[in-house]
C-alpha cells in the first residue's frame, strides 16, 4: 500500500467518534476500527502525524476509509506546470471563451477537444482559442460524445495530471491549487471540487432552486467517493486526475453517467477518488424549464447502463435484511404488523450489539443508537423509491389501494420536509416542493425509459445486502 509522505497530518472527520478508548467508528459506509494500545498512542488531539512506517500505515488506512481527512496545510502543493487542461466541447464558443479566461496561469497546456462541431461552430472555436500560448484544438471528425472527447484529450496530454473541465464551468485558481495538494496521497486517482451556481445565472425561481439542489452539487461535506457511500460519485464537469491511474479512461459507449461508471471502476481497482467541498468552481446551470427537464431526464437514462456494468450498486435503495423486514411490516399498515416490525428491529439491534466490542451491557446500549439510526435511514429511502425512481408504479398502484395512497402522501410530506432541511435553497417552500417534484418526475421518467430500452428492471429494484455493504441510506445519490 502506498503511504503518505513524512510530516503529513490526517485528522478524524467530524462524524467519526470513539466508542471507547480504543474503538473508533466512522467512514461511509460506517466501519469499526479496533486499535491496539500502540496505535491509539499515535493520536494527538484526534490527529496522526506521519513520522514512521506505523503512523503512515494507520493514517493511510483511516484516510482511505473516509474516517480521517488530510490536513492540506501539512503537505506540499504540486506545481501547475504538471497539469494539462482538457476541455471537451461541441459548439458553445462563447462559454469556451469564458472558461479559457478562468484557466489558472502556469498550466502546461490547454487542449480543447472539438467533438465534431459543425463547420461554423468549429471555426468559432478555433477563433476563440486563437494563438493563445500553450493552447491547441484537437478536432474529432464526427461527434463521439463527452467520454470519447475526454479520452482523446487524455491520450494527447503529456503531464502527470489532467484537469477535465466542461465548457460551462468557470475555474478558480485557489480551488485548483487546493486540489493539487491532495496528490500527496500517491493512490489518489481523482479529486473533484464542489460545483456551485455561476454568479448571475438567473433570478427565476428555477434558478434559485438550482442554486441549492443542482444535480452536480455533491454537498457541503468532503469525503472519499465510493458506491453506497455518502458521496457515491462526482460529476466530471470538473475533475483533477492522475493520468496514469485512469487506465483506459471513460467508457466511450456511454453518453451519460460515464463519470459514475469511471468512479466506480476506479474504486474497484483500488484507486482513490475524493470530493473536496472546500474547493469550489462555478457552473452555468440550465435554468430554462425545457432544458432543465430534458437534462434531468437525460441523467435518468443512464441508470440501466450502470446496472448492466455494476449490478445493484445502482439500486435506488440499499437495505439490510432486518430493515427490509421492518419496512415491509410497516407497509402492511395493520396493528398486527407492529410486533413484526418490533421483532425485525430487535434482530438488527442484537446483531449490532454482537459486533460491537467491550462489555455486553455497553455494547447493547451503543447498539440501541446504531439500530435506531439504521431504521430511520432505511425509512428515509422510501420516498426516493416511491417518488423518484418508482413514481409510475406508485401512481398506478395508488389508484386501487388506499394503503399505497397513504404511503404516497406520507412520502410527499417526509421528503418535502427533509429536502427543505438539507438544501440551502433561497426559495419559498411551495415552489421548492413543486420544483423537487418536477425534478423527480423527469429523472424517474428517464430511469423507466432506460429500463424499457434495455429490457431490464434491475435499476429500479432496491438491494437487500448483508455485511458492510448493507448500510441503510447508502444508495447512490444523483442529487
Q: Examine the pLDDT at 370 and tell me if it is beyond 90.
A: no
**Is the Cβ–Cβ distance between 103 and 96 less than 8 Å?**
no
Question: Residue 477 has what pLDDT?
Answer: 34
H or E element at residue 155: helix 146-156
Strand order of the sheet with strand 68-70? 47-49, 9-12, 68-70
Question: Residue 2 has what pLDDT?
Answer: 66
Sorting pLDDT into bands at 50, 70 and 90, what band is 476?
A: very low
User: Would you state the torsion angle of the CA atoms of residues 424, 428, 434, 435, taken in this order, to the nearest 10 degrees?
Assistant: -40
Q: Examine the pLDDT at 39 and tell me if it is beyond 80.
A: yes
Q: What average pLDDT does the segment 201-230 reach?
A: 89
Distance, CA of 15 to CA of 37 (rounded, Å): 23
- What whole-number percentage of the chain has pLDDT above 70? 96
Question: Residue 472 has what pLDDT?
Answer: 34
Q: Tell me how far CA of residue 396 lies from CA of 203, 360, 388, 401, in angstroms.
A: 36, 48, 14, 9
- Among 101, 172, 107, 157, smallest CA distance to 134 is for 107
Q: Across 173-177, 380-384, 417-421, which has the greatest mean pLDDT? A: 173-177
- What whole-number percentage of the chain has pLDDT above 90? 73
Contacts of 186 (CB under 8 A, 6+ apart): 2, 3
Distance, CA of 423 to CA of 54 (rounded, Å): 41
Q: Tell me how far CA of residue 452 lies from CA of 79, 183, 391, 447, 459, in angstroms.
A: 48, 42, 15, 9, 11
Q: Transcribe 107-124 into DSSP letters.
A: -SEEEEEEES--HHHHHH
Distance, CA of 311 to CA of 166 (rounded, Å): 29
Does domain 80-287 fall under CATH 3.90.550.10? My reply is: yes
pLDDT tens track for 163-204: 999 999 999 999 999 999 999 999 999 999 999 999 866 678
Provide the β-strand partners of residue 109: 84
Sorting pLDDT into bands at 50, 70 and 90, what band is 295?
A: very high
Q: Examine the pLDDT at 424 and tell me if it is beyond 80.
A: no
Q: What average pLDDT does the segment 400-416 reach?
A: 91
pLDDT tens track for 13-37: 998 988 878 888 888 777 888 899 9
290-295 contacts at long range (C-beta below 8 A, 24 or more positions apart)? 292/206, 292/210, 293/438, 293/442, 294/442, 295/215
**Is the Cβ–Cβ distance between 167 and 190 less than 8 Å?**
no
- Among 415, 444, 416, smallest CA distance to 432 is for 416
Q: Where in the chain is the domain with CATH 3.90.550.10?
A: 80-287
Q: Examine the pLDDT at 345 and tell me if it is beyond 60.
A: yes
Q: What average pLDDT does the segment 58-73 reach?
A: 94
Question: Residue 463 has what pLDDT?
Answer: 93
Q: Across 315-319, 352-356, 427-431, which has the greatest mean pLDDT? A: 315-319
**Is the Cβ–Cβ distance between 190 and 273 less than 8 Å?**
yes
Q: Whole-number mean pLDDT of the chain?
A: 91
The DSSP letter of residue 104 is: P
Q: Transcribe 312-380 into DSSP letters.
A: GGG-S-EE-HHHHHHHHHHHT--TTHHHHHHHHHHHHHHHHHHHS-S-HHHHHHHHHHHHHHHHHHHHH
Question: Residue 478 has what pLDDT?
Answer: 39
Q: Examine the pLDDT at 289 and tell me if it is beyond 80.
A: yes
Distance, CA of 44 to CA of 246 (rounded, Å): 36
- The residue that leads in pLDDT, 5 or 468, is 5
Residues comprising the chain, all counted: 479
Please return the burial class of 410, using the count of CB atoms within 10 Å of its CB with bins 0-12, 13-18 and 19+: middle
pLDDT tens track for 432-463: 899 999 999 999 999 999 999 999 999 999 99
pLDDT tens track for 123-149: 999 999 999 999 999 999 999 999 999
Helix 93-102 vs helix 119-129: crossing angle, to nearest 10: 20
Question: Residue 469 has what pLDDT?
Answer: 47
Q: What average pLDDT does the segment 66-70 reach?
A: 94
User: Would you state the torsion angle of the CA atoms of residues 109, 284, 439, 311, taken in this order, to the nearest 10 degrees?
Assistant: 0
Q: Examine the pLDDT at 325 and tell me if it is beyond 70.
A: yes
pLDDT tens track for 244-260: 999 999 999 999 999 99
Amino acid at each position: 500500500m502506498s503511504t503518505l509522505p513524512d510530516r503529513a497530518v490526517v485528522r478524524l472527520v467530524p462524524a467519526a467518534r470513539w466508542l471507547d478508548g480504543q474503538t473508533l467508528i466512522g467512514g461511509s459506509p460506517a466501519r469499526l476500527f479496533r486499535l491496539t494500545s500502540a496505535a491509539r498512542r499515535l493520536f494527538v488531539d484526534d490527529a496522526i502525524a506521519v513520522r514512521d512506517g506505523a503512523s503512515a500505515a494507520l493514517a493511510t488506512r483511516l484516510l482511505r476509509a473516509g474516517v480521517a481527512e488530510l490536513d492540506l496545510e501539512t503537505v506540499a502543493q504540486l506545481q501547475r506546470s504538471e497539469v494539462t487542461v482538457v476541455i471537451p466541447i461541441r459548439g458553445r464558443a462563447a462559454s469556451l471563451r469564458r472558461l479559457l479566461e478562468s484557466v489558472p496561469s502556469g498550466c502546461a497546456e490547454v487542449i480543447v477537444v472539438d467533438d465534431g462541431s459543425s463547420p461554423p461552430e468549429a471555426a468559432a472555436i478555433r477563433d476563440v482559442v486563437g494563438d493563445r500560448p500553450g493552447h491547441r484544438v484537437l478536432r474529432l471528425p464526427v461527434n463521439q460524445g463527452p467520454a470519447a472527447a475526454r479520452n482523446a484529450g487524455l491520450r494527447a496530454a503529456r503531464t502527470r495530471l489532467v484537469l477535465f473541465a466542461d465548457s460551462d464551468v468557470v475555474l478558480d485558481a485557489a480551488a485548483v491549487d487546493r486540489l493539487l495538494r491532495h496528490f500527496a496521497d500517491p493512490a489518489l486517482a481523482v479529486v473533484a471540487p464542489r460545483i456551485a451556481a455561476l454568479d448571475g445565472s438567473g433570478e427565476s425561481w428555477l434558478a434559485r432552486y438550482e442554486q441549492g439542489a443542482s444535480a452536480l452539487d455533491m454537498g457541503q461535506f468532503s469525503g472519499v467517493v465510493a458506491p453506497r457511500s455518502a458521496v457515491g460519485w462526482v460529476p466530471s464537469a470538473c475533475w483533477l486526475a492522475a493520468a496514469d491511474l485512469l487506465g483506459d479512461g471513460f467508457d466511450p459507449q456511454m453518453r451519460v453517467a460515464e463519470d459514475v461508471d469511471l468512479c466506480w471502476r476506479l474504486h474497484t481497482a483500488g484507486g482513490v477518488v475524493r470530493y473536496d467541498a472546500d474547493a469550489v468552481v462555478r457552473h452555468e446551470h440550465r435554468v430554462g424549464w425545457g432544458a432543465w427537464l430534458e437534462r434531468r431526464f437525460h441523467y435518468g437514462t443512464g441508470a440501466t447502463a450502470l446496472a448492466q456494468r455494476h449490478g445493484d450498486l445502482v439500486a435506488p435503495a440499499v437495505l439490510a435484511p432486518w430493515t427490509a423486514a421492518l419496512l415491509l411490516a410497516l407497509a402492511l399498515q395493520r396493528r398486527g404488523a407492529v410486533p413484526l416490525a418490533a421483532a425485525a428491529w430487535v434482530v438488527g439491534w442484537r446483531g449490532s450489539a454482537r459486533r460491537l466490542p467491550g462489555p455486553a451491557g455497553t455494547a447493547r446500549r451503543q447498539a440501541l443508537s446504531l439500530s435506531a439510526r439504521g431504521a430511520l435511514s432505511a425509512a428515509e429511502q422510501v420516498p426516493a423509491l416511491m417518488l423518484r425512481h418508482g413514481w409510475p408504479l406508485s401512481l398506478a398502484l395508488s389508484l386501487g389501494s388506499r394503503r399505497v395512497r397513504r404511503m404516497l402522501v406520507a412520502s410527499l410530506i417526509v421528503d418535502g420536509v427533509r429536502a427543505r432541511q438539507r438544501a440551502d435553497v433561497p426559495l419559498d417552500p411551495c415552489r421548492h416542493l413543486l420544483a423537487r417534484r418536477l425534478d423527480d418526475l423527469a429523472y424517474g421518467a428517464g430511469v423507466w425509459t432506460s429500463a424499457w430500452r434495455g429490457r431490464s428492471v434491475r435499476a429500479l429494484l432496491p438491494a437487500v445486502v448483508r455485511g458492510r455493504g448493507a448500510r441503510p441510506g447508502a444508495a447512490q445519490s444523483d442529487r
